[in-house]
A and B are shown apart, each in its own frame.
Chain A
């Protein structure tokens, strides 16, 4: 897909050059080039915003969604460039235009952030070696916890000692309850591992060899849960960034249309 983006961006650059050249020509002729660049900008913006609609219309052959996404990315970058050509500045004067520019930058930045974050996240998820469906994560965690409690019960029955059981109740219940160490997992730091190791080191010295076997089972479960947590955190981010991008773009389109109306009424 990167290849497609590279190819299409050539067309994007050509389009930008054509628009920019014509805009400059218009300016030199004392005409208002903002009209050309503004309409181009909103046309590209509306086409780009249609991605959401395309995703809902998968039953009609409208072209592959990946092609639309390529167009969305290149079109979005083209919009940024056109925005600067249109406003001739990085931040426009005027209160309303300021809001408009702010919304535009937020949408663009969130889009770029989302695009980059998705590629990183996908890789990280594959590297865990397991595959978990996001909606099933609570179920997975509950099953892991049940398995852990099964081990604990077996251990207690087999060895008669409740050291491990207490340790479990004091520490790991908390850990298994839901995804923990969110930020550390997100940035790839090893807080979870460190936490478990230190907790484990503290209790290991009190365990017999038989208990240690069960402890190793628990360790495996904890490691599995760490992978599940990784899945949760990254898939969560994959979904959450759109919470910023999509609503803002809706607001942006409305504001842009209002701006268009004002310009048409007052200045043209």
Chain B
């Protein structure tokens, strides 16, 4: 080893490779220039003004590298409901159907597990783990053998018995020229519906990095995408809710037309979040103020909002709302029920946006027409929540302040049980070739520590900036993982994560020599973070390894209550 260290000082013994570029891994391996030309001349894309696109991201480049052509035969599923997807689809020709309600059963859409190790492979980690930190088998990084980021081109699930499905399930048609899937791609939420091919179809699959560029540099696309959302996702979203779930198609359409979209906060709240906090400036735009009269039900579609009441000189957080929650139902109902009475009509609490919130406002008239006649008096959440003492809410307050409520697998350590033995870190390292994927330190409240381990957020902001899509939501399980082979080490995700849970590491080859870029000789970095042991047996090793049950992976919402 010592000899090797001396050797690295001379240039010839360096381990070099070309620094990975953004389009080093194109989305589809079979996009040719002819395809690009065809798209630009023939399809809905021909109207896009290529001039508006910057030089380093030309439209042709986007089409060549961030899109791919995919063909489907009748019955093949294009997207499955519940999958986390990173791409939108443009229908070039053919016809598809979207299943509205009820959802298709699990086995019909062929849910399967991702790759996990076998027992022997798991066991062999005992002797194959390396003492040298962050070693990689660099031969894997050749272009030809890479997997595309996140999706498996060859495996398709085929629906059996289409006519029965059409009979039993409400479906909608998707025609040529339609765009779908952008909601999941841009919104970092699961696919809202299952879509399968009704006839032979050719689709242009655009991964969301490309979609983002198209939306950014073409207003037509921006409008189209937003409209599309209103037509498709909103209806689905409304149908999912308790209040509107029973309505039929026409009613839903009526409701959808009358709903108002509102967005609060900035999409990239995370970049300024810590900085503004340390400066003492709140970055929480107010959605509704306590004491105002509501004019519509606020349904949170994405993001998080803080529900507060005034308390002394400050404001007390009584709850936080995420996707699927609504705000203001009780006062609106009281107003409708007892038009004359004046109490209970104003908002008993305020609502502010935590980071970025997508809200749908349903007007009171719509509610009066479709909802209120069919429901009982809703629970007055404020009464319930405000009966709790300050101490009981302290954890919640703190968690909301730190935005930990985003986390669905937050690593929480009970410091009264933790003996600081580091068995959790060892177990994590054992499952990752000797490299731990979290650090056992973090913010502390009372006896709880939230460690710097990826929380697999409901709204994973780390995914936003990734140029290659290496960081993605896994198809099953929903955990956020980084594909090590496609990561180019730009550090965007690490910088984006507001909780500092992603670490960039310098990689070395199997002998321990640092791998450097062949041109600049700067070290090649890779982003690493907790992957919830998705390829291991038995789930997160840290939880299983703690000898005193001090370590938990929690959904902070449940934990704080």
Contacts and interface: CB of A to CB of B under 8 A. Distances in A.
Contacts of A56: 126, 430
Interface string A53-78: 00111111101111011000000000
Contacts of A129: 444
Q: Which one of A57, A65, A134 has the greatest number of beta carbons of chain B within 10 Å?
A: A65
A61 B431 CA distance: 12
A186 to B, nearest CB: 15
Given A59-B123, A59-B430, A64 B419 contact: no
Interface string A167-191: 0000000000000000000000000
Interface stretch (B1-9, B45-53, B228-236, B536-544): B536-544
B449 A64 contact: no
Interface stretch (A16-24, A119-127, A157-165, A249-257): A119-127
Nearest to A130: B444
Contact of B415 (A60, A69, A126): A126
Contact of B544 (A65, A118, A134, A238): A65
Interface string B282-295: 00000000000000
A131 interface: yes
A129 B446 CA distance: 8
Nearest to A114: B419
B549 interface: yes
B470 interface: no
A129 B447 CA distance: 9
A139 interface: no
Q: Which one of B125, B418, B544, B549 has the greatest number of beta carbons of chain A within 10 Å?
A: B544
A59 B120 CA distance: 11
Interface residues of A, number: 27
A235 B421 CA distance: 8
Interface residues of B, number: 34
B420 interface: yes
A7 to B, nearest CB: 14
Contacts of A61: 537-539, 544
A227 to B, nearest CB: 13
A133 B441 CA distance: 8
B241 interface: no
B501 to A, nearest CB: 17
B547 interface: yes
A56 to B, nearest CB: 7
A1 interface: yes
Contacts of B440: 133
Interface in B287-330: none
B510 interface: no
9 contacts: A56-B126, A59-B431, A59-B537, A60-B537, A61-B537, A61-B539, A65-B544, A125-B420, A133-B441
- Which 5 residue pairs spanning A and B have beta carbons closest together? A61-B538, A58-B427, A126-B415, A66-B549, A69-B547
